[in-house]
Homo-oligomer: A and B are copies of this chain.
């Protein structure tokens, strides 16, 4: 299979969310146009995105909702649940630990680590915060599929190295640093302050564009 752009994968995810809505409503088929308008794109884009993975529709009719949803779950690797460890029990970390959206989409947070002794031992959402020193011990015993990094920037790379050593292949990083990882490890970085900066850029240039 040829390399598929990340933008395509993100749109597939959005399509799936809407398909599951339709599935819930008992809708039988849906057209690329309908999926497009909900996902904020075009019908041609929807068809192209799906065509990377196969031919799921019927000409003149559209796509069968349950089948397409199932195919997308398969494509996106969502037919299973994932065990996720959270490293960093600070403000953002604790919020993510309790965030329902993860569990709803198949991602179970099964362990929380922090270096701060005053946090270790606390119960959060039914989980005990563990000392990050016990990372290896815990994750060898109870392996995980993904890690969510919410540590200070200064320690993010060090923790990443330990996670890689433990065989973790996917990391969602909230620390505002570029992590260095081997080719077979995938990292997605979310930089919250940077998102606000793109807004500030837009505000600063909006008025200029109107003229």
Contacts from A to B (Cβ < 8 Å): 1, 6, 9-10, 12-14, 17, 38-40, 75-78, 82, 84, 91-92, 94-96, 98-99, 101-102, 104-107, 145-146, 169-172, 176, 178, 184, 186, 188, 190, 192-206, 208, 210
Contacts and interface: CB of A to CB of B under 8 A. Distances in A.
19 contacts: A9-B198, A12-B201, A14-B194, A39-B178, A77-B205, A91-B94, A91-B95, A91-B98, A101-B193, A102-B192, A102-B193, A105-B193, A107-B193, A146-B200, A146-B203, A184-B206, A186-B202, A188-B199, A190-B192
SS of A interface (majority): helix
A208 B66 CA distance: 26
Contacts of A169: 203, 206
* Residue with the greatest number of chain B CB neighbours at <10 A, chosen from A94, A98, A105, A199: A199
A186 B206 contact: yes
Contacts of A202: 170, 186
A198 B99 contact: no
B101 A198 contact: no
A38 to B, nearest CB: 8
Given A9-B201, A104-B193, A145-B203, 6 more contacts: A12-B201, A17-B176, A40-B178, A101-B192, A101-B193, A146-B200
B146 A197 contact: no
